[in-house]
Amino acid sequence: MYDGPLIEDLWHSDLTDYAASMRRLRKLPVRTVHGGHFPSFSGQHLTQLIDDWLRQHDL
């Protein structure tokens, strides 16, 4: 997870699995995210990113 465009549309991507992972991440008591790309961000921002992604994909 990182604060930038998520790469989710590759030929081998499975949005159902991706959504399940997002839901699992959302349940964790995260304070700070240190993604592999882009700057670190808060757990609150992570929750917002996940909620936005799930809403956009209707999953």
pLDDT tens per residue, the chain (59 residues)?
Answer: 888 888 888 888 899 999 999 999 999 999 999 988 899 999 999 999 999 999 999 87
The residues, any chain, with a CB within 8 Å of residue 46's CB and separated by 6 or more, are 1, 25, 26, 30, 33
Q: With 0.95 as the threshold, say if the pTM is over it.
A: no
Residue 57 burial (CB count, 10 A) = 12
Are 54 and 18 in contact by the 8 Å Cβ rule? The answer is: no
